Amino acid sequence: MTGRFITFEGIEGCGKSTQIGLLRAFLEARGQRVVVTREPGGAPVPEAIRAILLDRAHADMHPVAELLLYEAARAQLVHEVIRPALEAGAVVLCDRFADSTTAYQGAGRGLPRDALDSLHRLATQGVWPDLTFLLDLPAGAGLERARGRGEADRIEAESIAFHERVRQGFLGLAAGEPQRIKIIDAAQPVETVAGAVCAGIAALFGYAATG
Ligand code: Z5A
């Protein structure tokens, strides 16, 4: 595959969508073809699964059912959007990917890591990020930002303790894979975070980070 696969991770409200929009403009200004997508979602079947996952009416969803739905959405998104875009040479920017499952369903819900890793292999079909930005923020700060948007969805409505376990799960992943996962302090102003993202991208693509 000739394209590049870049993912953004972090707790709710950490600024992923904001940074993906800025990075898209940065890359397109340099002549890159960019495909932006998100998890769960990004295509008709994954969007339908997203609606089930985030619906507060499904408060009693079993953690394993939740895990399998995230992986099902991922399998379809990889098949339908991510792999074809990478094969066509595009830069794919994805708002969340398998690291989110390890953090939320692993660290957050307590599901075993070996089961998660097996399902990631099945769902991702060998497609894995070249670079991941972890926008790190204390759970309370992220939820405060996100809750400014209105009623919380099923996952947002979890306790601060759950979201803090998720945050620690992300940090643990980054500690184990420092080459792929770059931690950025997401409490900094938008422009400062964007500068750090561009520096990481410049290293990957070999061009100047300013712009
Ligand atoms: N989930 C899971 O459990 N397992 C999985 O495998 C996957 C996902 C893939 C998807 O929710 C939920 O599914 C998610 C994890 C779970 N739930 N939680 N929690 P989603 O897609 O609806 O939401 P999200 O992915 O968590 O993203 P978000 O809430 O849309 O936030 P964001 O994209 O990271 O942030 P933003 O929209 O760019 O910014 C949020 C606000 O902060 C906005 O008002 C911005 O203007 C502001 N902002 C952004 N940057 C800054 C800075 N630097 N300073 C100050 N304010 C800022």
Query: DSSP characters for 18-86?
Result: HHHHHHHHHHHTTT--EEEEESS-SSHHHHHHHHHHH-GGGTT--HHHHHHHHHHHHHHHIIIIIHHHH
17 touches ligand 1 (CB under 6 Å): yes
pLDDT exceeds cutoff 70 at 211: no
Q: Please compute the mean of the pLDDT values over residues 158-184 and round it to a whole number.
A: 97
Model pLDDT, residue 76:
98
Q: What is the pLDDT of residue 47?
A: 98
> To the nearest whole number, what is the mean pLDDT of the chain?
95
- The residue whose CB lies within 8 Å of the most ligand 1 atoms, and thus the one to mutate among 62, 104, 136, 137, is 104
Does the C-beta of 52 come closer than 6 Å to ligand 1? no
* Ligand 1 midpoint to CA 105 (Å): 17
* Gyration radius from the chain CA atoms: 16
Residue 181 has pLDDT above 80, yes or no: yes
Ligand 1 touching residue 100 (CB < 6 A): yes
Task: Name the band, by pLDDT with cuts 50, 70 and 90, for residue 151.
Answer: confident
Query: What is the token pair recorded at 192?
Result: 């400062």
Taking CA atoms only, the protein residue closest to ligand 1 atom 36 is 15
Tokens of 140: 């309370």
pLDDT at 210 over 80: no
pLDDT of residue 208: 65
User: Would you say the CB of residue 109 lies under 6 angstroms from ligand 1?
Assistant: no
For 33-76, what is each residue's pLDDT tens digit?
Answer: 999 999 999 999 999 999 999 999 999 999 999 999 999 999 99
